[in-house]
Amino acid sequence: MNNNFVIAVYVENKFGVLTRVTSMFTRRGFNIDALTVGETECPEYSRITISLSGDGYAREQLINQLRKLYNVKKVEVLDSDSIKRELMLIKVKNSSETRPDIMSAVEVYRAKVIDYTTDSLCIEITGDPTKIDAFVRLMQPYGIIEMCRTGVVALERGNSTLLDK
């Protein structure tokens, strides 16, 4: 049975590290659903957040392979209790007939219109990936012109950190 899971990888912030990590996925034949990378509170390190699908065996195999990579300091699967967020920019068709419904959805989903023309609305929305997916489904009948998603970023709840585990 395939499940979605999120892996946090704490790595040295050096040239070529991301290539080594993603190449490992390619060699093993795994598809990454989303990948985000950013500097951490310590500039010498970056945090790679990888969202993918697979069974328990695949997950454990990936974790073991990631831990063997040079420059990788810590690897953890984030549990369902972790805080997961995503950002999306979506551009939809704007017309006098559909505008009130789109604006209502923007309000309900706590999104924000960041660009407005007579032909289109560009909307920013953040939240759990399931919220983003639901908003996309809601906007489809109005005509999605373009969209861009950041991928998942995630942190453990409470005082716990990736390096504590």
How is domain 83-153 classified at the CATH fold level? Answer: Alpha-Beta Plaits (3.30.70)
What does the alpha-carbon distance between residue 52 and residue 60 come to, in Å, rounded to a whole number? Answer: 13
Tell me if 96 sits within 8 A of 35, measured CB to CB.
no
- Please name the fold of domain 3-78: Alpha-Beta Plaits (3.30.70)
What pLDDT score does 26 carry? Answer: 84
Question: For 32-75, how does the pLDDT look when each residue is reduced to its tens digit (9 = 90+)?
Answer: 888 999 999 999 999 999 988 877 777 888 889 899 998 999 99
Once rounded to an integer, what is the mean pLDDT over residues 4-9? 89
Across the beta sheet with 72-78, the strand order is 32-39, 45-54, 3-12, 72-78
Domain with CATH 3.30.70.1150 in the chain: 83-153
Q: Helix, strand, or coil here: 108?
A: helix
Numbered ranges of CATH 3.30.70.260 in the chain: 3-78
